[in-house]
Structure 1
Amino acid sequence: MLIFYISKNNNEKKTTIYEKIFTILLGYFLLPLIIAIPFYFSIYNLTFVNSYFEAISGFTSTGFTIFDNINHIDQSLVLWRSASQWVGGLYFLFSIILLIDIFDHSFKKSLTNFISFNKAETLKQSLKIFLLYSSITLGIFIIMNISGIRLFNSLNLAMTIISSGGFLPSNNLSNILINNYQTIVISILMLTSFFSIFLIYNLVFTKNHNLNFFNEDIHLLFYLLTLLFFFLFS
């Protein structure tokens, strides 16, 4: 998306919001085509339609799959499935950056003091999002690995959790989590995708914190605490 965006902005002409929307939509169709290639040329004799479906499902973090038994899939392809979710989640965040012009002023202020992003500012904010997204993924991976979850499963689940995806490296999560401690750990880690990543973005990159920036996340936290209260005391 960013490569296409840069190529359209090699002069000083301002990109219109319609061109930005078209760029993002084009990415949602073209990137899954690239993701579908390993599925199509795998040993599982998948049709192009099924390969593209699997790629779209991962890229959009939907989680629907055409595979009947994940345990029989080659581990490299399982890792590719999980990575498709990770890329899709990152692309969604990039889309927000590119379409910042259509959001309200308070949300834009939570990202930058600019009213509208130019090319340099778009790249700058996208790099911040990429580093933050990657760091959180790495943190989730390390914590799960320390809890005793297998290295391969930890990596796949880290990409699934950060993107709020639906792909698992096994047919059933109970095949991965062998004790209550691991279940509690992964339950807590799943909260990283429950809150907006821009909450952490604000805490890390915003100098002058304002509670209005965290209004949505505060409501989500209150909702979560309410659910935990009824769950623990009912």
Structure 2
Amino acid sequence: MKNINIKIIISFLGLTSMLNGVFMLIAVPFSMYHNEPAQTGILLAGLTTILVGFLLWFFNRNAPKNLQKKEGYLIVTLGWLMLTITGTLPYLFSGAIPNFTNAIFETISGYSTTGSSILTNIESMPKGILFWRSATHWIGGMGIIVLTVAILPLLGIGGMQLFMAEAPGPSADKMHPRITETAKRLWLIYFLLTFTEFFLLKIAGMTWFDAINHAMATLSTGGFSTKNASIAHWNGAPIIQYIITIFMFIAGANFVLTYFALKGKLRKVFQSEEFKYYFFGVLTLTILISILIVNYQDPNLVTTINHPKPWGETESAFRHAVFQVTSILTTTGFVSADFTMWNSFATMLMFSLFFIGGSAGSTSGGVKIVRHIIMIKNSLFEFKKLLHPNAIIPVRYDGTGVPKNIIFNILAFFVLYMGIFISSSVLLTFFGLDFESAFGAAASSLGNIGPAIGSVSPVDNFAHLSIGAKWICSFLMLIGRLELFTVLILLTPFFWRKN
């Protein structure tokens, strides 16, 4: 342990806690405006979190500023645990979620941008609590660690180790050679997109409160809604659903490409191999599922009610198809229709999206499209090697050869991902879930998706899960958000060996 800088870790946890407390205080005016008793609990939670964070930072502020990989992994993982523990306080202190396990589940679901919930009547919750719930999405979406990296130069600390641990995917794209400048640009884009969606949703007919909550949940690819029926609440307002669909798609794309698009460099966007797969994948699946909805769905489904044929039904089918495909692929988890009520083929198509995820460098969870592209290319490469064993055939991505260590990392990630999914599904059956629900809950939690299949379908929630099952899902949400290695490396004995 001598080779780990403990003081800088504690100092950083304190800084993270203080920032988290400030976000809590932002929720207080929403509660005060509606004259809710919860305002006292939220205020106390915010002040307590800031005080704890200040004490941790103050007594370790003069720690040596050397930050290595080990400290980076510890800071990110422990930072998320700190966020989770302090993030439960508004729920516990206000009495909105008095049960600790439920509060942990809802909080980690928020920060990990999963969107699974244990709340059975969302609309009865205090407005301040609903805002805080959405704010946990917004904080976790880009990662409060990246936000903190942007101000680390003020403390004389380098941030590359933190950024790599926070965003450990295969994409190494940078918008600026200095990592702190990258973090600032990421958050500026994130904020501007959130404000733009809020403005458009307000114009489209949402209340200002619903608009700001759904904007935060969309850009973070989270999925928490202020309504019990999620986005299905606005099935009579197609424009709202189209706006959310567009911003889900943007949030699921690489933010570096979004930066280039905003600068007018559209050619760079469409040159991206991952973006082309992403765009045409959404388009193809939307058309296919639209056809399935129109021709094979239950005639009593909400998608056909009150829509004159033929155009009304076709538009409704297309809208729900593109909404749900984008929602699941980007791991947002908003619901406009219960896709488990479509025919079995359509449901299985939707479930298969649980294992794809959005783009690298986005706020999406899941395996990520780029990993699938490289795994498929590597598989084809192996077939070619069988026929031409002496040929040198590199795996190329975006016209550049992919280093072997990246390929091995991706293969290891996928094997580990599927192994965790299978073992956790088996474990969830031990805690009372049936086969289908266990698979759905495990895939949804690990992929940070939200709605699943079985008893945790889009029209259900996770409230009925046992205590053990909720803790398993909470752990899956955490490691899924940090892409497995960042957390699991801490469980290996060689991590703790002295150099």
Which interval holds the TM-score relative to the shorter structure?
0.7 to 0.9
Contact 1:17 1:99 in 2 (8 A): no
Larger radius of gyration between Structure 1 and Structure 2 = 2
Question: In structure 2, what is the equivalent of residue 73 of structure 1?
Answer: 125
Q: 1:190 to 1:212 in 2, by over 3 A?
A: closer
Q: Tell me how far 1:35 sits from its aligned partner.
A: 1.5
How many residues are aligned here?
224
Question: In structure 2, what is the equivalent of residue 186 of structure 1?
Answer: 244
Matched, 1:108 2:165: no
Specify the code of the residue in structure 1 equivalent to 2:240: Q
Matched, 1:57 2:116: no
Question: In structure 1, what is the equivalent of residue 221 of structure 2?
Answer: 164
Question: In structure 2, what is the equivalent of residue 218 of structure 1?
Answer: 276
Contact 1:57 1:63 in 2 (8 A): yes
Q: Tell me how far 1:48 sits from its aligned partner.
A: 2.6
Could you tell me how far apart the structure 2 residues matched to 1:44 and 1:231 are? 39
Q: 1:228 to 1:44 in 2, by over 3 A?
A: closer
Could you tell me how far apart the structure 1 residues matched to 2:262 and 2:243 are? 24
Q: 1:57 to 1:159 in 2, by over 3 A?
A: same
Trace 1:113-128 onto structure 2 (pairs within 5 A).
Answer: 113=177, 121-128=178-185
Q: Secondary structure at the match of 1:111?
A: coil
Whose RCO is larger (CA < 8 A, sep 6+)?
Answer: 1
Deviation digits for residues 111-144 of structure 1 (CA, Å, limit 9, x no counterpart): 344xxxxxxx333221111111111111111111
Could you tell me how far apart the structure 2 residues matched to 1:140 and 1:179 are? 16
Could you tell me how far apart the structure 2 residues matched to 1:44 and 1:13 are? 40
CA RMSD of aligned residues (A): 3.5
Q: Tell me how far 1:222 sits from its aligned partner.
A: 2.0
Instruction: Mark the runs of 5 or more structure 2 residues left unpaired by the alignment.
Output: 1-8, 16-56, 150-158, 293-499
Task: Give identity over the alignment, percent.
Answer: 25
Q: 1:149 to 1:13 in 2, by over 3 A?
A: closer
Deviation digits for residues 47-103 of structure 1 (CA, Å, limit 9, x no counterpart): 233222211110111122222100110111111101101101121782996344976
Deviation digits for residues 168-203 of structure 1 (CA, Å, limit 9, x no counterpart): 101013324532232333222321222122221344
- Which of these residues, 143, 160, 170, is aligned with residue 200 of structure 2? 143
Question: In structure 1, what is the equivalent of residue 497 of structure 2?
Answer: none
Could you tell me how far apart the structure 2 residues matched to 1:40 and 1:138 are? 30
Q: 1:233 to 1:204 in 2, by over 3 A?
A: same
Q: 1:212 to 1:54 in 2, by over 3 A?
A: same
Q: Secondary structure at the match of 1:29?
A: helix
Instruction: Mark the runs of 5 or more structure 1 residues left unpaired by the alignment.
Output: 114-120
Contact 1:161 1:190 in 2 (8 A): yes
Contact 1:79 1:156 in 2 (8 A): yes
Q: Secondary structure at the match of 1:41?
A: helix
- Which of these residues, 12, 17, 20, is aligned with residue 4 of structure 1? 12
- Which of these residues, 190, 196, 203, is aligned with residue 133 of structure 1? 190
Trace 1:21-40 onto structure 2 (pairs within 5 A).
Answer: 21-40=73-92
Could you tell me how far apart the structure 2 residues matched to 1:137 and 1:186 are? 11
Q: Secondary structure at the match of 1:46?
A: coil
Contact 2:261 2:269 in 1 (8 A): no
Could you tell me how far apart the structure 2 residues matched to 1:127 and 1:109 are? 15
Could you tell me how far apart the structure 2 residues matched to 1:88 and 1:59 are? 4
Q: Tell me how far 1:11 sits from its aligned partner.
A: 8.8
Could you tell me how far apart the structure 2 residues matched to 1:181 and 1:212 are? 27
Could you tell me how far apart the structure 2 residues matched to 1:51 and 1:130 are? 28
Contact 1:57 1:64 in 2 (8 A): yes
Alignment TM-score, normalising by the size of structure 2 = 0.40
Question: In structure 2, what is the equivalent of residue 175 of structure 1?
Answer: 233
Specify the code of the residue in structure 2 equivalent to 1:222: F
Could you tell me how far apart the structure 2 residues matched to 1:202 and 1:10 are? 39
Specify the code of the residue in structure 2 equivalent to 1:156: N
**Over 6 Å off, 4+ runs:** 5-13
